[in-house]
Amino acid sequence: MRDDFNQQTKDMLSKRAGAKCSNPGCRQPTSGPSSDDSKAVSIGVAAHIHAASEGGPRYEKFMSPEQRAHISNGIWLCQSCSKLIDVDPARYTVGVLKNWKKQAEAEALAQIEAGRILQTRVTQLTETVEHDEKLDLDIAGDYFVAAASDIRNAAARMALALHEDRPVRVLCNYPEFDKIKPIDDGSVPGAFDSVKLAAYRKEKAAKGRRIAAAIELAFSKACFEPWSLYLQDLDDWYLLLQGIPRAFTADRTTGTVEKLAVWRTDEPAIQTSIRLTEAEVRDVLATTGLAKMDYLAFGAGWRSPDELSKNLILDKVIPNILRALTTSEIGRRPELSQIVNLPSWHIGRD
Protein backbone atom coordinates (compact mmCIF):
# COMPACT_ATOMS: atom_id res chain seq x y z
CA MET A 1 0.00 0.00 0.00
CA ARG A 2 1.32 3.43 -0.97
CA ASP A 3 1.43 6.32 1.47
CA ASP A 4 0.52 9.03 -1.05
CA PHE A 5 0.29 12.77 -0.50
CA ASN A 6 -3.14 14.34 -0.29
CA GLN A 7 -4.10 17.13 -2.69
CA GLN A 8 -3.46 19.87 -0.12
CA THR A 9 0.12 18.64 0.35
CA LYS A 10 0.68 18.44 -3.41
CA ASP A 11 -0.59 22.00 -3.91
CA MET A 12 1.59 23.30 -1.09
CA LEU A 13 4.74 21.60 -2.47
CA SER A 14 4.09 23.26 -5.83
CA LYS A 15 3.55 26.70 -4.30
CA ARG A 16 6.61 26.49 -2.06
CA ALA A 17 8.81 25.69 -5.08
CA GLY A 18 7.35 28.60 -7.05
CA ALA A 19 5.53 26.16 -9.37
CA LYS A 20 8.87 25.13 -10.87
CA CYS A 21 10.84 21.90 -10.89
CA SER A 22 13.13 21.79 -7.83
CA ASN A 23 16.03 20.25 -9.77
CA PRO A 24 18.53 23.15 -9.95
CA GLY A 25 19.64 21.97 -13.38
CA CYS A 26 16.06 22.14 -14.68
CA ARG A 27 13.78 24.69 -12.90
CA GLN A 28 11.18 24.12 -15.63
CA PRO A 29 7.84 25.88 -14.97
CA THR A 30 5.28 23.19 -14.18
CA SER A 31 1.96 24.92 -14.82
CA GLY A 32 0.37 27.13 -17.42
CA PRO A 33 -2.85 27.89 -19.26
CA SER A 34 -4.90 25.26 -21.06
CA SER A 35 -6.61 25.85 -24.40
CA ASP A 36 -9.77 25.78 -22.30
CA ASP A 37 -10.02 29.21 -20.65
CA SER A 38 -11.42 27.66 -17.49
CA LYS A 39 -8.56 25.19 -17.00
CA ALA A 40 -4.79 24.99 -16.49
CA VAL A 41 -2.25 22.35 -17.46
CA SER A 42 0.35 20.94 -15.09
CA ILE A 43 3.45 18.81 -15.67
CA GLY A 44 4.44 18.90 -12.01
CA VAL A 45 4.78 15.89 -9.70
CA ALA A 46 4.81 15.75 -5.92
CA ALA A 47 7.57 13.14 -5.66
CA HIS A 48 8.54 11.20 -2.55
CA ILE A 49 12.03 11.63 -1.14
CA HIS A 50 11.72 8.38 0.79
CA ALA A 51 9.59 5.95 -1.27
CA ALA A 52 5.85 5.78 -0.63
CA SER A 53 5.92 1.98 -0.43
CA GLU A 54 8.32 -0.86 0.33
CA GLY A 55 10.72 -1.69 -2.49
CA GLY A 56 10.68 1.84 -3.88
CA PRO A 57 13.73 4.13 -4.23
CA ARG A 58 15.16 5.45 -0.97
CA TYR A 59 12.58 3.52 1.08
CA GLU A 60 12.93 3.93 4.84
CA LYS A 61 11.26 1.09 6.76
CA PHE A 62 11.30 2.90 10.11
CA MET A 63 9.08 5.74 8.86
CA SER A 64 5.40 5.69 9.74
CA PRO A 65 2.71 6.04 7.02
CA GLU A 66 2.03 9.56 8.30
CA GLN A 67 5.71 10.50 7.94
CA ARG A 68 5.88 9.13 4.38
CA ALA A 69 2.83 11.18 3.38
CA HIS A 70 4.02 14.32 5.17
CA ILE A 71 5.09 17.41 3.20
CA SER A 72 8.61 17.10 4.64
CA ASN A 73 9.03 13.88 2.63
CA GLY A 74 7.98 15.51 -0.64
CA ILE A 75 9.73 17.45 -3.38
CA TRP A 76 8.13 19.22 -6.35
CA LEU A 77 9.55 18.14 -9.72
CA CYS A 78 8.62 18.07 -13.39
CA GLN A 79 7.57 14.71 -14.81
CA SER A 80 10.98 14.06 -16.40
CA CYS A 81 12.96 14.78 -13.24
CA SER A 82 10.55 12.76 -11.07
CA LYS A 83 11.36 9.72 -13.22
CA LEU A 84 15.06 10.55 -13.27
CA ILE A 85 15.48 10.50 -9.48
CA ASP A 86 13.77 7.11 -9.20
CA VAL A 87 15.72 5.29 -11.91
CA ASP A 88 19.06 6.30 -10.34
CA PRO A 89 18.55 6.52 -6.55
CA ALA A 90 22.26 5.94 -5.94
CA ARG A 91 22.98 9.29 -7.59
CA TYR A 92 19.87 11.11 -6.37
CA THR A 93 20.15 10.38 -2.68
CA VAL A 94 17.99 11.66 0.16
CA GLY A 95 20.62 14.30 0.89
CA VAL A 96 20.70 15.52 -2.73
CA LEU A 97 16.91 15.78 -2.94
CA LYS A 98 16.59 17.60 0.38
CA ASN A 99 19.23 20.05 -0.79
CA TRP A 100 17.34 20.58 -4.07
CA LYS A 101 14.15 21.27 -2.14
CA LYS A 102 15.85 23.70 0.22
CA GLN A 103 17.48 25.60 -2.67
CA ALA A 104 14.26 25.75 -4.72
CA GLU A 105 12.25 27.14 -1.81
CA ALA A 106 14.95 29.67 -0.95
CA GLU A 107 15.10 30.77 -4.59
CA ALA A 108 11.30 31.12 -4.81
CA LEU A 109 11.27 33.28 -1.67
CA ALA A 110 14.24 35.35 -2.84
CA GLN A 111 12.52 36.10 -6.14
CA ILE A 112 9.45 37.41 -4.32
CA GLU A 113 11.56 39.53 -1.96
CA ALA A 114 13.93 40.70 -4.68
CA GLY A 115 11.05 41.78 -6.88
CA ARG A 116 9.53 43.73 -4.00
CA ILE A 117 12.84 45.37 -3.07
CA LEU A 118 13.65 46.23 -6.68
CA GLN A 119 10.11 47.60 -7.14
CA THR A 120 10.52 49.84 -4.09
CA ARG A 121 13.94 51.13 -5.07
CA VAL A 122 13.00 51.63 -8.71
CA THR A 123 9.82 53.48 -7.75
CA GLN A 124 12.00 55.89 -5.76
CA LEU A 125 14.24 56.38 -8.80
CA THR A 126 11.52 56.82 -11.44
CA GLU A 127 11.48 60.62 -11.21
CA THR A 128 15.24 61.09 -10.78
CA VAL A 129 16.75 58.60 -13.23
CA GLU A 130 16.71 59.03 -16.99
CA HIS A 131 14.65 56.56 -19.01
CA ASP A 132 17.45 55.88 -21.49
CA GLU A 133 17.31 54.06 -24.78
CA LYS A 134 21.14 54.08 -24.87
CA LEU A 135 23.86 53.98 -22.23
CA ASP A 136 27.45 55.04 -22.99
CA LEU A 137 30.21 53.79 -20.69
CA ASP A 138 33.90 54.65 -21.09
CA ILE A 139 36.57 52.17 -19.99
CA ALA A 140 40.27 52.50 -19.27
CA GLY A 141 42.17 49.29 -18.60
CA ASP A 142 39.61 47.18 -16.74
CA TYR A 143 37.66 49.93 -14.97
CA PHE A 144 34.91 52.35 -15.96
CA VAL A 145 36.10 55.92 -16.44
CA ALA A 146 33.55 57.57 -14.16
CA ALA A 147 32.95 58.45 -10.54
CA ALA A 148 31.38 55.76 -8.35
CA SER A 149 28.19 57.84 -8.18
CA ASP A 150 27.95 57.84 -11.99
CA ILE A 151 28.38 54.06 -12.16
CA ARG A 152 25.72 53.64 -9.47
CA ASN A 153 23.47 55.85 -11.54
CA ALA A 154 24.16 53.69 -14.61
CA ALA A 155 23.21 50.59 -12.60
CA ALA A 156 20.01 52.31 -11.50
CA ARG A 157 19.15 53.25 -15.09
CA MET A 158 19.64 49.66 -16.25
CA ALA A 159 17.61 48.32 -13.30
CA LEU A 160 14.82 50.74 -14.16
CA ALA A 161 14.86 49.55 -17.77
CA LEU A 162 14.67 45.94 -16.56
CA HIS A 163 11.71 46.79 -14.33
CA GLU A 164 9.93 48.53 -17.20
CA ASP A 165 10.79 45.68 -19.62
CA ARG A 166 12.47 48.23 -21.86
CA PRO A 167 15.59 47.39 -23.91
CA VAL A 168 18.62 49.63 -23.50
CA ARG A 169 21.53 49.57 -25.93
CA VAL A 170 24.86 49.67 -24.08
CA LEU A 171 27.99 51.09 -25.71
CA CYS A 172 31.41 50.56 -24.10
CA ASN A 173 34.25 52.70 -25.42
CA TYR A 174 38.01 53.05 -24.89
CA PRO A 175 38.40 56.81 -25.43
CA GLU A 176 42.11 57.00 -24.58
CA PHE A 177 42.97 55.37 -27.91
CA ASP A 178 41.18 58.12 -29.82
CA LYS A 179 43.77 60.58 -28.50
CA ILE A 180 46.82 58.60 -29.63
CA LYS A 181 48.49 59.83 -32.81
CA PRO A 182 50.37 57.31 -34.96
CA ILE A 183 54.10 57.78 -35.50
CA ASP A 184 55.13 56.14 -38.74
CA ASP A 185 58.71 57.35 -39.08
CA GLY A 186 60.10 55.14 -36.29
CA SER A 187 61.40 58.13 -34.34
CA VAL A 188 59.82 56.98 -31.08
CA PRO A 189 60.68 53.39 -30.07
CA GLY A 190 57.61 51.37 -29.10
CA ALA A 191 55.15 53.92 -30.47
CA PHE A 192 52.14 52.88 -32.53
CA ASP A 193 52.40 53.25 -36.26
CA SER A 194 49.20 53.62 -38.31
CA VAL A 195 48.79 49.89 -38.93
CA LYS A 196 49.36 48.83 -35.32
CA LEU A 197 47.13 51.58 -33.96
CA ALA A 198 44.28 50.65 -36.32
CA ALA A 199 44.57 46.99 -35.30
CA TYR A 200 44.65 47.87 -31.60
CA ARG A 201 41.62 50.15 -31.92
CA LYS A 202 39.77 47.36 -33.73
CA GLU A 203 40.66 44.91 -30.95
CA LYS A 204 39.45 47.33 -28.26
CA ALA A 205 36.22 48.03 -30.15
CA ALA A 206 35.50 44.28 -30.30
CA LYS A 207 36.23 43.95 -26.59
CA GLY A 208 33.93 46.90 -25.86
CA ARG A 209 31.11 45.21 -27.79
CA ARG A 210 31.54 42.01 -25.77
CA ILE A 211 31.50 43.90 -22.47
CA ALA A 212 28.39 45.78 -23.59
CA ALA A 213 26.71 42.49 -24.55
CA ALA A 214 27.57 41.06 -21.10
CA ILE A 215 26.03 44.09 -19.38
CA GLU A 216 22.85 43.84 -21.44
CA LEU A 217 22.67 40.14 -20.61
CA ALA A 218 23.20 40.79 -16.89
CA PHE A 219 20.26 43.22 -16.85
CA SER A 220 17.92 40.89 -18.75
CA LYS A 221 14.89 39.15 -17.27
CA ALA A 222 16.33 35.77 -18.27
CA CYS A 223 19.29 36.32 -15.92
CA PHE A 224 17.52 38.34 -13.21
CA GLU A 225 15.13 35.51 -12.37
CA PRO A 226 17.76 32.91 -11.38
CA TRP A 227 20.13 35.54 -9.94
CA SER A 228 17.56 37.51 -7.95
CA LEU A 229 18.76 35.79 -4.78
CA TYR A 230 21.98 37.82 -5.07
CA LEU A 231 20.55 41.00 -6.68
CA GLN A 232 18.29 42.24 -3.94
CA ASP A 233 19.48 45.84 -3.87
CA LEU A 234 20.79 48.42 -6.31
CA ASP A 235 24.12 48.25 -4.48
CA ASP A 236 24.30 44.63 -5.62
CA TRP A 237 23.69 45.72 -9.23
CA TYR A 238 26.50 48.26 -8.84
CA LEU A 239 28.93 45.59 -7.61
CA LEU A 240 28.02 43.34 -10.53
CA LEU A 241 28.34 46.15 -13.07
CA GLN A 242 31.81 47.05 -11.75
CA GLY A 243 32.96 43.44 -12.00
CA ILE A 244 32.04 42.91 -15.66
CA PRO A 245 34.90 44.82 -17.40
CA ARG A 246 37.42 43.25 -15.01
CA ALA A 247 36.29 39.78 -16.12
CA PHE A 248 37.43 40.61 -19.66
CA THR A 249 41.01 41.43 -18.68
CA ALA A 250 43.37 38.70 -19.85
CA ASP A 251 45.88 37.25 -17.38
CA ARG A 252 44.74 39.36 -14.46
CA THR A 253 47.23 37.96 -11.95
CA THR A 254 48.20 40.90 -9.73
CA GLY A 255 47.60 39.94 -6.11
CA THR A 256 46.08 36.56 -6.96
CA VAL A 257 47.20 33.36 -5.27
CA GLU A 258 44.63 30.80 -6.45
CA LYS A 259 42.57 30.02 -9.53
CA LEU A 260 39.07 28.60 -9.16
CA ALA A 261 37.38 26.76 -12.05
CA VAL A 262 33.67 27.41 -12.59
CA TRP A 263 31.86 25.11 -15.01
CA ARG A 264 28.74 23.16 -15.87
CA THR A 265 28.65 19.60 -17.17
CA ASP A 266 25.03 19.61 -18.38
CA GLU A 267 24.47 20.70 -21.96
CA PRO A 268 25.50 23.23 -22.98
CA ALA A 269 28.82 22.59 -21.22
CA ILE A 270 30.57 25.87 -20.32
CA GLN A 271 33.80 26.53 -18.45
CA THR A 272 35.44 29.64 -17.05
CA SER A 273 37.66 30.48 -14.09
CA ILE A 274 38.21 33.21 -11.52
CA ARG A 275 41.39 34.38 -9.86
CA LEU A 276 41.35 34.75 -6.08
CA THR A 277 43.32 37.00 -3.78
CA GLU A 278 44.49 35.77 -0.40
CA ALA A 279 41.48 37.37 1.29
CA GLU A 280 39.13 35.76 -1.23
CA VAL A 281 40.67 32.34 -0.61
CA ARG A 282 39.92 32.77 3.10
CA ASP A 283 36.38 33.78 2.17
CA VAL A 284 35.93 30.66 0.00
CA LEU A 285 37.15 28.38 2.79
CA ALA A 286 34.90 30.08 5.33
CA THR A 287 31.71 29.85 3.23
CA THR A 288 32.31 26.26 2.07
CA GLY A 289 33.48 25.05 5.47
CA LEU A 290 36.59 23.47 3.97
CA ALA A 291 39.98 23.43 5.69
CA LYS A 292 42.05 24.01 2.55
CA MET A 293 41.67 24.62 -1.19
CA ASP A 294 42.97 21.12 -1.98
CA TYR A 295 39.57 19.80 -0.90
CA LEU A 296 38.02 21.58 -3.90
CA ALA A 297 39.69 19.15 -6.28
CA PHE A 298 37.02 16.44 -6.26
CA GLY A 299 35.34 17.43 -9.53
CA ALA A 300 31.74 17.93 -10.61
CA GLY A 301 28.93 17.52 -8.10
CA TRP A 302 31.10 18.32 -5.08
CA ARG A 303 30.60 22.08 -4.64
CA SER A 304 28.62 24.73 -6.51
CA PRO A 305 29.23 28.50 -6.79
CA ASP A 306 26.04 29.38 -4.90
CA GLU A 307 27.91 28.30 -1.74
CA LEU A 308 30.27 31.27 -2.10
CA SER A 309 29.70 34.70 -0.53
CA LYS A 310 27.39 37.12 -2.33
CA ASN A 311 30.20 39.62 -2.88
CA LEU A 312 32.40 37.02 -4.59
CA ILE A 313 29.48 35.80 -6.70
CA LEU A 314 28.65 39.32 -7.91
CA ASP A 315 32.20 40.60 -8.28
CA LYS A 316 33.77 37.58 -10.00
CA VAL A 317 31.61 34.49 -10.55
CA ILE A 318 28.71 36.02 -12.47
CA PRO A 319 30.90 38.45 -14.49
CA ASN A 320 33.07 35.54 -15.65
CA ILE A 321 30.01 33.45 -16.52
CA LEU A 322 28.76 36.41 -18.57
CA ARG A 323 32.14 36.62 -20.30
CA ALA A 324 31.90 32.93 -21.21
CA LEU A 325 28.36 33.37 -22.52
CA THR A 326 29.31 36.27 -24.80
CA THR A 327 31.93 34.17 -26.60
CA SER A 328 29.18 31.97 -28.07
CA GLU A 329 25.52 31.99 -29.04
CA ILE A 330 24.53 30.42 -25.71
CA GLY A 331 23.42 33.80 -24.38
CA ARG A 332 20.66 33.82 -26.98
CA ARG A 333 19.18 30.45 -26.04
CA PRO A 334 15.55 30.43 -24.85
CA GLU A 335 16.49 28.23 -21.87
CA LEU A 336 19.06 30.78 -20.63
CA SER A 337 17.41 31.04 -17.19
CA GLN A 338 18.10 27.36 -16.59
CA ILE A 339 21.65 27.59 -17.98
CA VAL A 340 22.76 30.44 -15.68
CA ASN A 341 21.16 29.01 -12.53
CA LEU A 342 24.19 28.76 -10.21
CA PRO A 343 23.28 25.49 -8.42
CA SER A 344 23.66 23.72 -11.79
CA TRP A 345 27.32 24.84 -11.98
CA HIS A 346 30.36 23.41 -10.20
CA ILE A 347 33.48 24.94 -8.64
CA GLY A 348 36.86 23.34 -8.15
CA ARG A 349 40.50 24.17 -7.74
CA ASP A 350 41.97 24.89 -11.17
User: Could you tell me which residues are beta bridge partners of residue 273?
Assistant: 261
Q: Is residue 176 domain-shared with residue 195, that is, in the same domain?
A: yes
C-alpha distances out from residue 191 to 73, 195, 205, Å? 69, 11, 20
What 323-328 contacts at long range (C-beta under 8 Å, 24+ apart), as own/partner pairs, is 323/210, 323/214, 323/244, 323/247, 323/248, 323/272, 324/270, 324/271, 324/272, 325/214, 325/217, 325/270, 326/210, 326/213, 326/214, 326/217, 327/210, 328/268
Alpha carbons within 13 A on the beta-carbon side of 146? 19
Q: Is 118's pLDDT higher than 60?
A: no
Q: Is residue 270 part of a domain?
A: yes
Evaluate if pTM is beyond 0.75.
no
Q: Is residue 79 domain-shared with residue 134, that is, in the same domain?
A: no
Q: Is residue 151 domain-shared with residue 228, that is, in the same domain?
A: yes
Confidence of residue 131 (pLDDT cuts 50, 70, 90): low
Cα separation, 204 vs 226, in Å, equals: 31
**pLDDT of amino acid 49:** 95
**pLDDT of amino acid 117:** 54
**pLDDT of amino acid 119:** 56
Name which of 67, 69, 123, 60 is nearest 89 in CA terms.
60
What is the residue range of 137's domain?
Answer: 126-249
**pLDDT of amino acid 104:** 87
- What are the φ/ψ torsions at residue 277 (nearest 5 degrees)? -80, 175
What's the angle, vertex CA 72, arms to CA 58 and CA 345, rounded to 5?
A: 70
**pLDDT of amino acid 321:** 95
Q: Is 126's pLDDT higher than 70?
A: no
Domain boundary among 190, 219, 249: 249
Average confidence (pLDDT) over 61-88: 94
**How many independent structural domains does the chain possess?**
3
Domain boundary among 189, 218, 249: 249
Q: Is residue 255 domain-shared with residue 235, that is, in the same domain?
A: no
